[in-house]
Chain A
Amino acid sequence: KQEVTQIPAALSVPEGENLVLNCSFTDSAIYNLQWFRQDPGKGLTSLLLIQSSQREQTSGRLNASLDKSSGRSTLYIAASQPGDSATYLCAVGGNTPLVFGKGTRLSVIA
């Protein structure tokens, strides 16, 4: 059974800092990995999707990497801003629909 772990559970950084969020999964037989953002009381916003054949994807200040063989993904956020404060969720897609980690709650302090 696929299990997804996100570390750290919470992170607080000053504005402008670069940061890395970590995601690990137990079964490397995946089709893709998706990073989401969730604001309090809201649904999920898709940030980046990495197919299993890809190593990384970039969107603006966000860069996500995937190392399928080691069961790891990272989300890099450059020059963090207070508006980046949210919970970031990693989800792995395989033979079954997405399996989610419990998320990292990010606070960017102005």
Chain B
Amino acid sequence: GAGVSQSPSNKVTEKGKDVELRCDPISGHTALYWYRQSLGQGLEFLIYFQGNSAPDKSGLPSDRFSAERTGGSVSTLTIQRTQQEDSAVYLCASSFATQYEQYFGPGTRLTVT
């Protein structure tokens, strides 16, 4: 079956602009996660959704970051007023439920100029 897909694969934006990153999880997976991978920082958790529960936003680095998940499926990560330090690869993952194996998408490489 289809894996986790993300779009766009690459995004270049000017400092101060807003961006939206999209994630399509594996069908039937109730848990969806966003991570960020920066050079020298490794992979860090941003936010996750489990079913209809309120999302865990504890990893979001600032209030410029937000995410939503519509209909329990597709998710959009929005970064407002982008800064150069937001440049990173943003990875989405899904799992059958929390504590199950996570499957990752190919990521979106964001470059803020």
Which residues of A come within 8 Å of B, CB atoms?
31-32, 34, 36, 42-46, 49, 89, 91, 93, 96-103
Contact = CB atoms under 8 A, between A and B. Distances in A.
Judged by DSSP, the binding face of B is strand
Interface residues of B, number: 22
B1 interface: no
Given A43-B104, A43-B107, A32 B43 contact: no
Contacts of A97: 33, 35, 45, 48, 56, 59, 98, 102
Interface in B83-113: 91, 93, 98-99, 101-107
Interface in B30-61: 33, 35, 42-45, 48, 56, 58-59
Contact of A42 (B58, B102, B106): B106
14 contacts: A32-B101, A34-B101, A42-B106, A43-B104, A44-B93, A44-B104, A46-B102, A46-B104, A93-B99, A97-B48, A97-B56, A97-B59, A97-B102, A103-B42
Nearest to A101: B42
Contacts, number: 50
> Taking chain A's interface residues, is the majority helix, strand, or loop, or is none over half, making it mixed?
strand
Contacts of B56: 96-97
Interface of B: 4, 33, 35, 42-45, 48, 56, 58-59, 91, 93, 98-99, 101-107
Contacts of A43: 4, 91, 104-107
A93 B4 CA distance: 20
Contacts of A89: 43
Contacts of B93: 44
A91 B43 CA distance: 10
